[in-house]
Chains A and B, each alone.
Chain A
């Protein structure tokens, strides 16, 4: 069953077509990687899927509902309720501790629960770092906190933009293991990356070039 469907999506900035008539679909529980060189439209697609931008043309169906014409306010609510975001630069609130950074996500979703936030931190192996500020955490630890933050509200879709782009190999493996675990639990994952190794971890890879879908690759060696 399809969780996400982009139908003939275009995003046009003046003369530039960042996305040109793109159509994709992602099933519930699927792990999809979106690959492509710089300027291929990966981030634009992520922004549209993540309800942070609207397409110039076409339709976006999330959980069967067309959200392409929704207001910014409504898109914020959809993002809050259905999507967990992970960024390449981590993006944490620098004056809040690790656990507080997770609780911020709870606060804007429903009610903050410190114990639940600590459990999420424990799940990414950082319970003992709960009271540390971002400046006191390594890059890998910060990204794991961001994964915990993305998970805390039990979203239907995890959308990660170059999640391992700023990590060393050891931390990259930790994050990918977390994704595998989430996938096993039935979470839908869309990972935007330019790293073939990260893409190979997914079930399916969509390759973008010049704003179009160049090809789709099914990972025959996908391991749960």
Chain B
């Protein structure tokens, strides 16, 4: 009989039940979407932030020491410069967190003399340097993606695979001052000779780089007489925001307990990645560009907080909606429940009946909401991050618990109303 009553209530009141299911579905869909986005947003935001440059710099050990001692940046002539080997750069992709290293480029700076006798700073680097790693992986690394926000206002980026080595890119300010255009051939003179080079493009970086020349690393090494050497490496890595463990480890990893060390080493903290880079590249010191790393952590924390708030608000909204609908439904059915009490139903029987109806409705709404949320998450992923959101299995039990709590909370006023319902008052007036 109980099943007949439930079935009757659900089937013959499907309009009302559909509205309750729809409200639950909306709450569930937002919770599903937000939780999935929140759990996936770390990687997405990190990936997004990688387009704003490197967050780790790698320098030779002695160069870093001098910089630290004299509080000056390495400026070639003033302090004897140490170098890293270009052949070690690819070792970045052999560390434990290699997958998190999304881009990198080596650099070498030197002063060159232009045709009119003026000097300019030339930066040798990789543009889209092709690497075939010992791991079997192939990739293109360099400033084309590491400086993706640069705007090429004339010509195009250097394509290392197709353009000759004697090709350069010139900063907008320098090009204006020299009257240079893309396609023009100019002569650069360094300590070890002169080279005739073609301007592939003029870029607008919006900073000091607009006064510089960016050239293939081989060309600058040749002009400088430093074949196979690099001054620094910039690395863009996807990292986990620092916590207390990461801060302690950054000071001295050796001071950590074995368990903490294991946790730290196997988490993509920027300090752990720096540590592993130093293990991979001899005589190198890797350090985090703190401002970038901390901004990334801060943005990530704020984004996740925003997602949590949206999830909480959507669930509160759903609870209020459920509460209104269920209460309205109970008020409409007051005579029915009054009759049931009059013919012998106990409070718990009627409460149980209503709760089972709502739970079945919630189940239908919750399942529909989960799949709607799946769609919303993909919509958010594609429209905000330009990629799909990975659906996490752990979201399912969380959503089930949240929807159960929200449904129970939303049903409380209606349950209270049922408990207070007096058959005499709803079946006929009691004051005559």
Residues of A within 8 A of B (CB): 13, 16, 18, 38-44, 46-47, 50, 52-53, 73, 76-77, 79-81, 85, 87-89, 91-96, 100, 103-109, 112, 133, 149, 161
Cβ 8 A contact of B1, one of A80, A107, A161 = A107
B2: Cβ under 8 A from any A Cβ: yes
B98: Cβ under 8 A from any A Cβ: no
Q: Are B343 and A43 in contact (CB under 8 A)?
A: no
**B87 nearest CB across to chain A (Å):** 80
**B431 nearest CB across to chain A (Å):** 6
Q: Are B430 and A43 in contact (CB under 8 A)?
A: yes
Cβ 8 A contact of A52, one of B2, B335, B422, B431 = B422
Q: Residues of A contacting B338 with CB < 8 Å?
A: 91
Q: Are A104 and B346 in contact (CB under 8 A)?
A: no
Contact flags (1/0) for B177-194 with A, using CB distance below 8 Å?
Answer: 000000000000000000
Q: Are B427 and A91 in contact (CB under 8 A)?
A: yes
Contact flags (1/0) for B323-344 with A, using CB distance below 8 Å?
Answer: 0000000000001101111111
Within 8 A of A (CB), among B294-328: none
Q: Are A93 and B430 in contact (CB under 8 A)?
A: no
Find the B residue at minimum CB distance from A90: B339
| 6 closest residue pairs by CB, A with B | A80-B344, A95-B12, A108-B344, A52-B424, A107-B1, A95-B8
Q: Residues of B contacting A105 with CB < 8 Å?
A: 343-344
**A99 nearest CB across to chain B (Å):** 10
Q: Are B344 and A41 in contact (CB under 8 A)?
A: no
**B2 nearest CB across to chain A (Å):** 7
Further contacts, 12 of them, CB under 8 A, given A93-B8, A112-B1, A133-B12: A16-B431, A43-B429, A43-B430, A43-B431, A44-B431, A47-B424, A50-B424, A52-B423, A80-B344, A108-B346, A108-B349, A161-B428
Q: Residues of B contacting A96 with CB < 8 Å?
A: 4-5, 8
Q: Residues of B contacting A42 with CB < 8 Å?
A: 432
The answer for the CA separation of A108 and B349 in the assembled complex, in Å, is 9
Residues of B within 8 A of A (CB): 1-2, 4-5, 8-9, 11-13, 335-336, 338-346, 349, 422-424, 427-432
The answer for the CA separation of A40 and B432 in the assembled complex, in Å, is 6
The answer for the CA separation of A40 and B349 in the assembled complex, in Å, is 35
**B242 nearest CB across to chain A (Å):** 60
Q: Residues of A contacting B349 with CB < 8 Å?
A: 108
**A3 nearest CB across to chain B (Å):** 19
Find the A residue at minimum CB distance from B428: A43
The answer for the CA separation of A107 and B344 in the assembled complex, in Å, is 9
The answer for the CA separation of A16 and B423 in the assembled complex, in Å, is 21
Q: Are A104 and B5 in contact (CB under 8 A)?
A: yes
Q: Are B342 and A79 in contact (CB under 8 A)?
A: yes
Find the A residue at minimum CB distance from B423: A52
The answer for the CA separation of A14 and B430 in the assembled complex, in Å, is 14
Q: Residues of A contacting B345 with CB < 8 Å?
A: 76, 108
The answer for the CA separation of A81 and B343 in the assembled complex, in Å, is 9
Q: Are A91 and B432 in contact (CB under 8 A)?
A: no
Q: Residues of B contacting A100 with CB < 8 Å?
A: 1, 4-5, 8
**B110 nearest CB across to chain A (Å):** 87
Q: With A40-B432, A43-B432, A93-B336 given, is the CB distance from A52 to B4 under 8 Å?
A: no
Q: Residues of B contacting A112 with CB < 8 Å?
A: 1
28 residue pairs of the A-B complex, CB under 8 angstroms, read: A18-B431, A39-B432, A50-B424, A52-B342, A52-B423, A52-B424, A53-B424, A76-B341, A76-B345, A79-B342, A85-B342, A87-B428, A88-B428, A91-B339, A91-B342, A93-B5, A93-B340, A94-B12, A95-B11, A95-B12, A100-B5, A100-B8, A103-B1, A107-B1, A108-B340, A108-B344, A108-B345, A109-B343
Q: Residues of A contacting B430 with CB < 8 Å?
A: 43-44, 47, 52-53
Q: With A18-B431, A88-B428, A94-B336 given, is the CB distance from A80 to B12 under 8 Å?
A: no
**A66 nearest CB across to chain B (Å):** 20
Q: Residues of A contacting B343 with CB < 8 Å?
A: 79-80, 85, 104-105, 108-109, 149
The answer for the CA separation of A200 and B392 in the assembled complex, in Å, is 75
**B112 nearest CB across to chain A (Å):** 89
Cβ 8 A contact of A41, one of B8, B342, B422, B432 = B432
Q: Residues of B contacting A104 with CB < 8 Å?
A: 1, 5, 340, 343
The answer for the CA separation of A89 and B428 in the assembled complex, in Å, is 9
Q: Are A93 and B428 in contact (CB under 8 A)?
A: no
The answer for the CA separation of A73 and B345 in the assembled complex, in Å, is 10
Find the B residue at minimum CB distance from A111: B1
The answer for the CA separation of A137 and B275 in the assembled complex, in Å, is 83
Find the B residue at minimum CB distance from A113: B1
Q: Residues of B contacting A46 with CB < 8 Å?
A: 428
Find the B residue at minimum CB distance from A211: B432
**B423 nearest CB across to chain A (Å):** 5
Q: Residues of A contacting B4 with CB < 8 Å?
A: 96, 100, 103
